[in-house]
Structure formats: C-alpha cells, structure tokens
Amino acid sequence: VTTGRLEAFSDGVLAVAITLLALDLRVPEIDHGSLWHELLRQWPNYVAYATSFLTVGIIWINHHAALRRLRRIDHTGLILNVVLLMTVCVLPFTTALMARYLDRATGSSVAAAVSGGSFLVMSFAFVALQRHVLLARADLANESLSPEARMAVLRRNLVGSVPYAAATALAFVSAYLTLAICAAIAVFYALPSTTADAGALE
Amino acid sequence: VTTGRLEAFSDGVLAVAITLLALDLRVPEIDHGSLWHELLRQWPNYVAYATSFLTVGIIWINHHAALRRLRRIDHTGLILNVVLLMTVCVLPFTTALMARYLDRATGSSVAAAVSGGSFLVMSFAFVALQRHVLLARADLANESLSPEARMAVLRRNLVGSVPYAAATALAFVSAYLTLAICAAIAVFYALPSTTADAGALE
Amino acid sequence: VTTGRLEAFSDGVLAVAITLLALDLRVPEIDHGSLWHELLRQWPNYVAYATSFLTVGIIWINHHAALRRLRRIDHTGLILNVVLLMTVCVLPFTTALMARYLDRATGSSVAAAVSGGSFLVMSFAFVALQRHVLLARADLANESLSPEARMAVLRRNLVGSVPYAAATALAFVSAYLTLAICAAIAVFYALPSTTADAGALE
Amino acid sequence: VTTGRLEAFSDGVLAVAITLLALDLRVPEIDHGSLWHELLRQWPNYVAYATSFLTVGIIWINHHAALRRLRRIDHTGLILNVVLLMTVCVLPFTTALMARYLDRATGSSVAAAVSGGSFLVMSFAFVALQRHVLLARADLANESLSPEARMAVLRRNLVGSVPYAAATALAFVSAYLTLAICAAIAVFYALPSTTADAGALE
C-alpha cells in the first residue's frame, strides 16, 4: 500500500482530535458575579488545551516525517498506525480529566497520572510504529537510511518517552508538576532547532 | 467519476466517525470517594471504544483496498458508499448504547443486540458496495481480476458478516458475549496475515 | 485558484457536517420499562438522520460534479462556496429540531418549516454557486460546455429547489408531510438514472 | 517539507473548527408558548455563527493564498501554523461565549471582548506566520516575490488586524458594537474585489 491515503486518513483523525480538544472549553454560567473572574478560574482548561494542542501538532509533524521515509506500508504498519491514532483520540478525554480535577482536593493525582499516562502510551505507540517500519520492515523505506541512522531515529523517539514517564510518576507528588512537565515538553519540541529531526525535515 | 475525491470524502467521514467514538469517554463527577475507582467502573466504555475504533480502522483498510481496485465509480456506487458511511456514523451512538447498558439489569440485551446489529448492518453495506463494483459493474475495475478472484473477495466479505450475526443473536444470552465477540473479531483482523487481503494489500 | 484545495476543504466540511448529524442520536435513559420501546420512540430521529445524511451525501456528489467542470475559481466563487457550506453546517441543528418536535402538539409546524427551509436555503446556495460559475464566469470552466448545456444544468438545479419549497410550505399542514417529502427527495436522487447528471458523472 | 500535507492537515482542522461553530445552535426546549418566538430569541447565536463561519472561511482563503506562495516550509513555519490553528479552534468557544452573554446585563462586555480578542489573536498568529515565511525565510517561496511585494502583503495583513483591535476595545462600550464590527469585517472581505489578494488569487 502506498502511503498517500494513509496520510490522508491520519491527517483527518489528527485534525479532528486536535479540534475536539477545544470542546472542553465551556461557556461558564454565572447568575451574578464577574464573568471575567469565572473565565480566569478555568485557567487549567486553557493550559491543558494549549499543551495538548501543541503536543498533537508535534505528533503530526513527527508522523509526517516518519511517513515521508516510507515508500509503502504493510498490514501491521497500518494496524500500528490505527493504534497510534486510537491513543491520540483519547487525549480530549484525558486532557479534560486533568483540567477538571487539577485544583481539587480529591482525584487530582489520579487525573494527572491518567493524563500524563495517556501521553506516555501515545509516545510508546509512536515508537512501536517507528520500530516496525525502521527495523522489522526496513524494506518499506523509500530512501537508503543506514542501520545506524535508523537506530538513531528510534533511540531519539524512545528518549522522547522518558519525560512523559516522569510526568506520570510525579503526578503523585503534584498534579501541577505533571501539567508543567507536559507543557514544557511541548514547548521544547516547538522551539526551533531543538528537534534533531528539524534538519532532517527539510 | 474517478475515485480520488470519493476516497477523500470517505476518509474524512471515517476519520470524524472514528474520533467521535471518544466523545462517550466522559469525565466522571465525584463528590467524595476515589476517582480511580470511578474511572475503573467505566471499563465497558474503554473496551467498547477500543473495539469500535479498531473495527472502523479495519473498515478503512478494507475500504481502501476495495477502492484501489477501481478505475472509476458510477452513481449507484457513490450512493452505496454514502449508505456504508451512514452505517459507520451511527457506531458512536450504538457503541455508547452498549457501554451504558452493559452491566445493567434492564436493557443490556437490547443494547448489545443493537450494537452488534449495527456492525452487522455495516458489514452488509460493505458487501453491497463490493457486490456492485465486483459483479454488477465489473467494468469499473482498474485491473483484470478474474471472475473467480472477484467471487473469492466477495465470499470473504460475506463470511466476515457471519460472526457479527452471531454476536447480535447471542446478545439475548449475554451482552458481555456480544462485546467479547466483537472485540475478538477486531483483534482477529488486526493480527498480521490472518486477513487474506493482507497479501493483496501490498 | 485551482480547485484542488477547494475540493479538499469542502470535502472536509461536508464530511464533518454529515457525521455530526449522528450526534442527535442520544442514548436514552430508562429507569424501568423497556429500552427497546424507548429506542423505537426515537424513530423520528432515525428517519431525520437518514434523510439528512442521504441529502448531504447527494449534495456532495453534485458539488463534486460541479467542481469537476471548473479549471479554476475566483474570489466570488470561493465565497459562494463558503456560504453553501454554511447552509450545510446548520443541518445537524435543523434536523435535530425537526426530530425533537415532530410528534409534539406545540412547535411541530415551526420545526418542520425551519428544517424544510434549511434544505431550501441550501439548494438556493447551490444554485447561486452554479449560476456564478456557469453564467457569470463561464471562463472558469475546464471544458467547452455550450450555453444551452449550461442553462440546462442550471435549470435542473433550480427545479430541484421546488420540492423543498413545497416541503417547507406544507409544514403548516403537517410536519410529517415535510419529513416525508424531504425523505422522498433524497431517495429519488439516490435512485440510479433518475439524476440527469448520473450519465454526465461518468 | 513540501506544503502538500501541511495544507491537508490545515484544511482538516479548519474544516472541523468551522463545522463545530454550529454546535452552539441548540434546539430550544419549550413547555408551552411559541417555538418560533424561542428560535428568534436565539438570534445572537445565528449572527455570531454566520460571522465566525464567514471569518474562518476567509482565513482559509488567505491561508490557501499564503501557502501557495511557498515551495516548502521549515520547522518554525510548521509550529507557527499549529499556533494559528490553535487560535482558530478556540473560536467555537469564544463565539458561543459572545452569543450567550450578548443581551445579558452582566458579562456582555467581557464576553464580547474575549470574542473580539480571539479574532485579534488569530489575526496576529496569521501575521506571525506570514512574517516568518515572507521575511525571515524568504527562501521558502516558490516564486520570486520582490521585497516590496512581500512588505505589501505583510502590511495588508497587519492592517487587517486593526479593526479587530477596535472591536475588542469597543466591547466595553457595547457588546453589540463588537459583534457588528466583526460581522462587517467578514462581509467586507467577502465582497468581490475588496481584497487586494483577490486579483493575486487568480
């Protein structure tokens, strides 16, 4: 299978998932008092929204870079891609969960762990897809990437999972810490030239 | 009509429908007690989500394989494709129905039968589309598939409907059975080399 | 502007709008009694869903056929296309409105008139787009369509609006009548060879 | 990176965001009284919907025109594009906020300022993307645009932000004024030949 329609479908799913993140931004209902105050009180929603949006945007960029290396894809690759998309599509749910419970006395650690964990699972799904197309089925590539270069890409992907593991574990220290780490990861990858792929992208 | 824009539209609808499945994952509202416990109580939603997501992903793969065989498509083919998409787009509803009623005393059989039945109807709609382009309008194909090969593809699609019929009928024994069968079907098709199309796909 | 990205954006909007139609299929909440009975009570939702889904599917087919005639499109054409999409995107709302009020003592006529009227406005928006690209800017076409052929296409589009006008007006006789007419229109255009465009489509 | 898949992803996000605007059109629940009256009472929702829909449609047209000038895009450009999409995806929220509070005694100014401000931020995000591809990375262009022409495009984009700044500031005079200005901007850009880009578009 050529990768054209795989890209189209993946782009579609990522585009819908990234847009659905905004569905958790709800119009507050006030009877009296200040709307401004009420909107500010929802700040965890905005931070969580921006973090997840940027993260999915970066996943899209990386997904794009990964598929560009392929000439075609096999059944297992298609299924691994579906699994990756499945982990992305739960992000609106886990993001909303973290935002809702962030400043509560009960449940904030669990909510943050689930949210950080969903990013971790997503990064593992990406590594699994990469591992398949880079190692198991190296014949699918459309360019002659040396085994060393393949391992380097895969190692970089795997290293990218580590901060999410930390963010998940630290949820039991503080939910705010989890959110801060996830936001920092997103900003880090958004910065120019910090991603090793940036050069390769062009 | 060439199949390019048909693919784009179908990919779009499938991408939206698959993403909307996650809308039934709701942030639980707890006043006291454990959020962890509450999240675990929602396990039917997660299983139903994963099952339907994988199923729609596989439908997308099969749809892709089916359209690749076509050079162009006629009006009836377009309408049969719209009908197929119509059956896919109700899956978020029927999936949510099954998840909500799975462990209830009342309604679980009906909910499971409707959910299994929606997969059955979807597989029939796929067979109807395939039957049209493989038999009725064999001239639409872009490759010379022998009549035997056409019948083989169609028979395989039809056989694929049987487990869904069983899952629907067994809803009146146990809703859990229906969910288990549907999940097993999805996993079966996701496994490498179990789909006869897997080879043809490449 | 070439029509490639216009098609992609239009396909995307139509794909999302058609899928959102299913959001009005709600999981009923029963405390006791029969879920089966409760699901059957929602039949107006299913009929309205199928009607609108098929209608948007046909709009997509016609939109596809219309754009295929174009080599490029101007600013006014782009805006008329946005207006057409705007009328399509309200259909989930007006469809839900009709379904909710169909069998109520109060509001059924208004709801049906609004729903029928939304189809009417959509068909007018389609005629406006067609009129622009067929008459006002005939130079945008990618094929030499005779003035007579252009007028014939436009006349056919305009005639297609008449049943929607009837459906809207008859809402004040009976909301059921409006739904029946809209459903009949959708089925009529879905039938093979009733659409004059069917031949041209190939 | 070539711009093909960037366009596909951006089109997808814009298509979903524009369609989600209609989710704030809610079926009113009446017990007695006139449904017609109740639907008319929701007029701020309709005006806000039409305004935002047209605005996103125009953003899409401008985005399309901007990307057409590019041969490829770098990492910073991709990120700036994700940020632009992030600002577009909050529009369903801010549009709903304005519509809900427009005719209320409390909160209308804040809601209108947030809504006008979200358009302003979106136009700044567009300018930032344009500034990057037109000035910072002029080598990404696929056509030889003179420095003067580049500055002219950028100046036009920047001037386009001014009315949104006014609309935001005037929210504290009257929320209706903000809505009127935003609607007028959308209509202005929709008119033929008012957009300087209109000519360039062809």
pLDDT in tens, B88-105: 999 999 999 999 999 998
CA distances from A132 to A128, A141, D155 (A): 6, 11, 48
Token pair in block for residue D152:
């002219």
- Amino acid sitting at position B5: R
Per-residue pLDDT, averaged over A82-95, amounts to 97
Chain D hits for C83, Cβ within 8 Å: 54
Per-residue pLDDT at A76 exceeds 60 = yes
Chain A hits for B19, Cβ within 8 Å: 13, 16-17, 20, 89
Spatial distance between the Cα atoms of D65 and D200, rounded to a whole number of angstroms: 8
Per the CB < 8 A criterion, the answer to whether B46 and B25 are in contact is yes
Chain D hits for C75, Cβ within 8 Å: 61, 192-193, 195, 198, 201-202
pLDDT of residue C199: 36
Which of A7, A116, A111 lies closest to A64, judged by CA? A7
Please report the DSSP string for chain C in residue order: -BSHHHHHHHHHHHHHHHHHGGGG------SSS-HHHHHHHTHHHHHHHHHHHHHHHHHHHHHHHHHHTBSB--HHHHHHHHHHHHHHHTHHHHHHHHHHHTT-SSSHHHHHHHHHHHHHHHHHHHHHHHHIIIIITGGGBSS---HHHHHHHHHHHHHTTHHHHHHHHGGGT-HHHHHHHHHHHHHHHHSTTTSTHHHHH-
pLDDT of residue C1: 67
Per-residue pLDDT at A172 exceeds 90 = yes
pLDDT in tens, C1-25: 678 888 889 999 999 999 999 999 9
Angle formed at CA D89 by CA A100 and CA A29, multiple of 5 degrees: 45
Please give the residue that has the higher pLDDT: either C144 or C39.
C39
Per-residue pLDDT, averaged over D178-201, amounts to 75
Which of A117, A183, A189, A108 lies closest to A156, judged by CA? A189
Token pair in block for residue C186:
């959708």
Q: Which residue of D has its CA nearest to A34?
A: D107
- Number of Cα atoms under 13 Å in the Cβ half of residue C42: 16
Per-residue pLDDT at A121 exceeds 90 = yes
pTM to 2 decimal places: 0.92
> Any idea what DSSP says for residue D146?
-
State how far Cα D150 lies from the chain centre.
Answer: 22
Question: Residue length, chain C?
Answer: 202
Percent of chain A at pLDDT exceeding 70: 94
Per-residue pLDDT, averaged over C70-76, amounts to 89
Q: Which residues contact B170 (CB under 8 A, 6 or more apart)?
A: B116, B177, B178, B181
Chains that touch C (3 or more CB pairs under 8 A): A, B, D
Interface test with A, best of D86, D103, D109 (most A CBs within 10 A): D86
CA distances from D161 to D10, D79, D118, D166 (A): 21, 21, 11, 9
Per-residue pLDDT, averaged over D119-148, amounts to 88
pLDDT category at D3 given cuts 50, 70, 90 is confident
pLDDT of residue D193: 62
What is the ipTM metric for this complex?
0.90
Greatest pairwise CA separation for chain B in angstroms:
66
Chain C hits for D59, Cβ within 8 Å: none
Tokens 């389609």: give the residue: C126
Name the B residues in 18-57 with CB < 8 Å from any C CB. 20
Q: Which residues contact A126 (CB under 8 A, 6 or more apart)?
A: A59, A62, A63, A66, A84, A157
Per-residue pLDDT at D202 exceeds 60 = no
CA distance between the termini of chain A: 25
pLDDT of residue A193: 62
Per the CB < 8 A criterion, the answer to whether D69 and D137 are in contact is no
Strand partners, C2: C72
Percent of chain D at pLDDT exceeding 70: 94
The rounded mean pLDDT for chain A is: 90
Per the CB < 8 A criterion, the answer to whether A56 and B19 are in contact is no
Strand partners, D70: D141
User: What is the distance in angstroms between the Cα of C12 and the nearest Cα belonging to chain A?
Assistant: 8
Which of A22, A25, A19, A54 lies closest to A42, judged by CA? A25
Name the B residues in 102-121 with CB < 8 Å from any D CB. none
pLDDT in tens, D150-169: 899 899 999 999 999 999 99
Chain A hits for B50, Cβ within 8 Å: 86
Q: Which residue of B has its CA nearest to C187?
A: B79
pLDDT of residue B193: 62
Count CB-CB contacts under 10 A for residue A179: 22
